[in-house]
Structure formats: C-alpha cells, structure tokens
Amino acid sequence: MRDLDNSSDLAAMRVDYGGLPHGGNDDLDLDETWLAGGWEPLLRHWIEQATAVGIAEPNAMVLATVSLADGTPRPVARTVLCKGLSPEGVIFYTNYDSAKGAQLTALPYAAVTFVWPALGRQVHLRGAVERVPAETTAAYWRSRPRDSQLGAWASRQSQPIASRAELDRTLAETTARFADADEIPVPPHWGGFLVRPDEVEFWQGRRGRLHNRIRMRIEGATTTVERLQP
C-alpha cells in the first residue's frame, strides 16, 4: 500500500506503554480484582485520574452507532461528552433529531470508547441505549450556560446549512426570541441517552505490546470477568 503521508514519519511514531509520565502506568498491573466492585467505580476512578493530571475533556468518549439509512448497515462514530455515570450506564446529551439520534432511534444499541493515551488507558462499553427521563434531561439542561441553551435551539444538528452567516442569523433570531425568558425551556428535540452496557472492557498499555485487557460481561444480575489477549 502507498504511504499516506511522506512528509511525516507516521510509521515510526511509537509509544511503549508502561512507565509513562503522570504516574498513570506506574501503578500495578490491571487484573480481574480491579473489577470486584463493578465496572462503574473503576471507570469513575480512571476519569478522575485523567482529570487530576490535567487531560483536556477527560469525559470525552467516541460514540459508535449504526446507520441503516441506505439499506446497508454502516458504522458511524463521533465524540460526545459523558455527563452522567452510574452503575446503570453512561449518559450523554444531544439533539434527538441529529444523525446519531435518528440512528439510535432506528437501532438502539451503541459502543462507546474512552481513551486517555497519556495514561495508556482505554475503556469500551457496549450496550442497549434508551432516552433518559425528561426530568433527568431538565436537571442537566438547567446547569448549562445560556449560550449553550440558545445553541441547542438554534442548530438543527447534522442538517446542511448554506453558510456560517446563516447559522449566526439563526442564533440572533433565537436570542431575540428568548430575550425576555429568564429560563430557556428544554427544546423538544434535545435530551439525554443512557447507554446500558452489557460489556465493558478496561485496557491498560504495557511494555512490548503485552497490554492488560479485562472484560466484564453483564447479563442481568450475573457478571463474568475475564482477561483477553492483547
């Protein structure tokens, strides 16, 4: 295969995990016992550690959905922010009419991946997806800055628009519309999704590519924890 980019040596870029800065890899080897309390405390701990070492957007996760639009299933991935974490699952907020919203309505199943390369860590979750209750969305909505609330009303997320100027005009109209409103209501097309994992995998980078991978599978009240080959 032809080199994609001869100007930088992508093929030579290589990090050997284990003993990286930030102390993230200086702790002991990840093993099955780390999941004794369930997947949620460990994921929470890893997000907290990523926050503590100053990683930007430590709660960012890549969300993969399936598009059935043209009759052929196709994967689609993009980044969202995890805004809720509990033993039930992870929550993110978005436009229900966006591409991802439509995909999750048609096929309510997703995969999410958190990755913190500076810590040599990654977590995958896979599972069924449902909309969160309206009260949960409303509580989070109230915590958002007014600008973000106006943006959620102004943008028909994932739809084409002719220009930046048109987007700015729509925002100006939306701002005028809510000028007298102390509190901006939740748009009907906006809210949270909960991904309820039936599988969670924790990955910790190790020297020589012999990484640690521990997977938990969840079936009702039954959980199975096993190590996977790297």
Ligand X SMILES: Cc1cc2nc3c(=O)[nH]c(=O)nc-3n(C[C@H](O)[C@H](O)[C@H](O)COP(=O)(O)O)c2cc1C
Enumerate the active-site residues: 209
* Backbone angles phi and psi of 36, in degrees to 5: -60, -35
Tell me the window of 94-102, 105-113, 130-138, 165-173 that interacts with ligand X (CB under 6 A). Answer: 94-102
Shortest spacing between CB 95 and ligand X, in angstroms? 6
Please tell me the distance from the alpha carbon of residue 112 to that of residue 64, in angstroms, as a whole number.
6
- 219's enclosing H/E stretch is strand 212-219
Indicate which single residue of 27, 57, 147, 168 sits in contact with ligand X (rule: CB under 6 A). 57
Please tell me the distance from the alpha carbon of residue 50 to that of residue 105, in angstroms, as a whole number.
32
Q: Does 158 bind ligand X (CB under 6 A)?
A: yes
Shortest spacing between CB 183 and ligand X, in angstroms? 21
- 217's enclosing H/E stretch is strand 212-219
Tell me the window of 96-104, 114-122, 168-176, 206-214 that interacts with ligand X (CB under 6 A). Answer: 96-104
Indicate which single residue of 80, 123, 125, 186 sits in contact with ligand X (rule: CB under 6 A). 80
Q: Does 175 bind ligand X (CB under 6 A)?
A: no
Indicate which single residue of 17, 92, 141, 153 sits in contact with ligand X (rule: CB under 6 A). 92
Instruction: For residue 36, count other CB atoms closer than 10 A to its CB.
Output: 9
Helix ranges (H only) for the chain are: 39-52, 99-106, 134-143, 146-154, 164-177
Shortest spacing between CB 194 and ligand X, in angstroms? 14
